[in-house]
Amino acid sequence: MTFGTHSKGVYAIATTPFLEDGSIDFTSVDRLTDFYEETGCTGITILGIMGEAPKLEPEESRAIVKRVVSRARVPVIVGVSAPGFAGMRSLARDSMEMGAAGVMIAPPPSLRTDDQIVSYFAGAVEAVGGDVPWVLQDYPLTLTVVMSPGVIAQIMTNHPSCLMLKHEDWPGLEKISRLRAMQKAGELRPFSILCGNGGLFLDFEPERGADGAMTGYGFPDMLTELVQLFADGKRDEAHDLFDAHLPLIRYEQQVGVGLAVRKHVLKRRGVIATDVQRKPAQMLTPAAKAEVDYLLGRMAKKDKRAAF
């Protein structure tokens, strides 16, 4: 299964479920894969930042790729970002051999100038191979690397194998508009734009030209419905749905505890068995869990999917 420059919808950023002893919970991996498909996701992205990829052993990463790819009926993107190109190449080639649709590459935090960024991705593409479809991750809030529309355009022009931009700049609405304007003017080739940031700005991103979302909010079914409402031109209904979920989306965007919130919600929904993270990790305190549960209770009054 593949993805392309016109891919739309929601690609779920998958968490990595663990058992209480910290080992991978493959039963929950299966259940999570099924859950994403059942909720209407058009793709799944694994081993991303929220997938705790840096905490996994190389053989564990490959075991997860094999498990998800063999079970999924939608395209699977594998995060292969690594400190060095050798590890990136190895995981990328192995993932493609196992049936992944493509890979996602993020810039290392050390990059500062435009030339450094452009040069880095030239090296990354050379390492994984120009035949491997890939997603460019633009996440300056966490990675501290700022890519202007011009730099993104240069990378896209240099590398036809890059089919998608994972956009999660903040603020970033104007960047989407600028890239789409460049395409409309014939200055830039087509590519898909899916947005992250937990869906925090998904109330306006589709209207700016985004094709959907690539994020891991605990209600992917809400994200798929929201994207479809915008596609159907039902703006007010889309905003009503978004507004009902905004308090939880905002709570999840707190630095350090976002994954803990997400895993807590997925556990409450019966998708994963535990909310365990690999150490080092910041877990929710009893007070924080109570706050999340309170938000879920309030949300359930407007969206029955939160009534569990």
CB 221 within 8 A of CB 305: yes
pLDDT tens-digit readout, 29-51: 999 999 999 999 999 999 998 99
Please, which pLDDT band fits residue 166 given cuts at 50, 70 and 90? very high
pLDDT of residue 259: 96
Q: Which long-range contacts (CB under 8 A, 24 or more apart) does 228-236 make?
A: 228/40, 230/206, 231/8, 231/206, 235/207
pLDDT tens-digit readout, 273-302: 999 999 999 999 999 999 999 999 999 999
Q: Which residues contact 207 (CB under 8 A, 6 or more apart)?
A: 230, 235
Please give the Cα distance from 103 to 75 (Å, whole number): 11
pLDDT of residue 121: 98
Mean pLDDT of 200-207: 98
Mean pLDDT of the chain: 97
pLDDT of residue 247: 98
Count Cβ atoms below 10 Å from residue 136 Cβ, excluding itself. 22
pLDDT tens-digit readout, 58-107: 999 999 999 999 999 999 999 999 989 999 999 999 999 999 999 999 99
Q: How far is Cα of residue 274 from the mean position of the Cα atoms in its chain?
A: 21
Core vs surface per residue 87-126: b (16+ CB within 10 A) or e? ebbbbbbbbbebebbbbbbbbbeebeeeeebbebbeebbe
Give the tokens for residue 127. 């390492």
User: Could you report how far apart the first and last alpha carbons of the chain are, in Å?
Assistant: 34
Please, which pLDDT band fits residue 2 given cuts at 50, 70 and 90? confident
